């Protein structure tokens, strides 16, 4: 039975935008594994596998259910050890956790505030209601007010990417000569923005933009082909 990946989508089921789902997608592609996608809006997540998870991605590997993108990557690494490694050994598995926490709090947090109203705009009516209510409670402000003035926060956002930018002067991927799961972790955040928002995040001559382009092209252009914002 092929694997099934439950992924977050907007009004258009082809607009798959969650950063965490992109990590899982890229991990499956890295391992060369076929899977069926099940685009799922926020409000349908509780229906996946009888309420197995409050979040997506959820991977159904022939009846074995796995939630959380990092745990999905670990599951694939353990289950398919002879396919290309996602971590490059135990040290890589451990250090990828650091990259993940850096991305979550250092990158995705500020990025959310640049695109949150754009996320809302790609959802259907029911999911717009859910998203506005839950996110405005969390952020303590209207989505549009959070996003407003994002041009003024762009330089600070680009500065948060400096460790990656400096590293890219030394090697082409976080994984070294080729991509590993931590590349997909950071990629997921930027692809999230690319899919929902027309806001230009990176200068064209930014080494991070060049690296992002390399990631978009991987695996037969899997991520490049995805429906993106105009």
Q: Which residues bind a copy of itself (CB under 8 A)?
A: 85, 87-102, 104-106, 162-164, 166-167, 170-171, 173-177, 180, 182
The order of strands in the sheet holding 64-67 is 35-40, 3-8, 58-61, 64-67
The CB-of-140 to a copy of itself minimum distance in angstroms stands at: 19
Residue 178 Cβ vs a copy of itself, minimum distance, rounded to whole Å:
9
Separation between Cα atoms, residue 184 and residue 72, nearest integer Å: 13
Task: Pick the closer one to a copy of itself by CB: 163 or 221.
Answer: 163
- The closest of 213, 95, 107 to 156, measured between CA atoms, is 107
Comparison of 70 and 130: residue with beta carbon closer to a copy of itself: 70
| Closest CB 175 distance from a copy of itself, rounded Å | 5
- Residue 112 three-state SS: helix
Min dist CB 153 to a copy of itself, Å, is 16
Nearer to a copy of itself (CB atom), residue 167 or residue 222? 167
Q: What's the chain's Rg over C-alpha atoms?
A: 17
Question: Of 18, 178, 179, 167, whose CA–CA distance to 102 is shortest?
Answer: 167
Residue (5 or 96) nearer to a copy of itself, CB: 96
Nearest 10 degrees: Cα torsion 51, 119, 163, 31: 50
- Quick one: 1 or 170, whose CB is closer to a copy of itself? 170
Q: Count CB atoms within 10 A of the CB of residue 88.
A: 17
The span from the CA of 67 to the CA of 53, in Å, is: 7
- Tell me how far, at minimum, the Cβ of 228 lies from a copy of itself, in Å: 26
């Amino acid at each position: 039975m092929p694997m099934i990946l439950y992924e977050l989508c907007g009004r258009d089921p082809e607009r798959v935008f969650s950063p965490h789902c992109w990590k899982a997608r890229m991990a499956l592609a890295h391992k060369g594994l076929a899977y069926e996608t099940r685009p799922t809006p926020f409000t349908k997540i509780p229906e996946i596998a009888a309420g197995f998870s409050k979040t997506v991605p959820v991977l159904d590997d022939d009846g074995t259910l796995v939630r959380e993108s990092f745990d999905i990557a670990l599951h694939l690494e353990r289950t398919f050890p002879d396919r290309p490694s996602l971590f490059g050994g135990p040290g890589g598995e451990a250090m990828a956790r650091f990259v993940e926490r850096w991305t979550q709090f250092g990158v995705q947090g500020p990025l959310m505030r640049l695109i949150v109203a754009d996320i809302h705009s790609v959802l259907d009516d029911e999911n717009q209601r859910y998203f506005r209510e839950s996110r405005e409670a969390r952020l303590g402000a209207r989505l549009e007010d959070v996003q407003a003035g994002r041009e003024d926060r762009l330089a600070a956002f680009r500065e948060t990417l400096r460790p990656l930018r400096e590293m890219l002067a030394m090697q082409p991927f976080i994984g070294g000569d080729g991509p590993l799961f931590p590349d997909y972790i950071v990629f997921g955040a930027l692809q999230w923005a690319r899919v929902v928002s027309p806001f230009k995040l990176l200068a064209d001559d930014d080494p991070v933009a060049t690296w992002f382009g390399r990631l978009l092209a991987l695996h037969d252009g899997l991520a490049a082909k995805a429906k993106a914002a105009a």
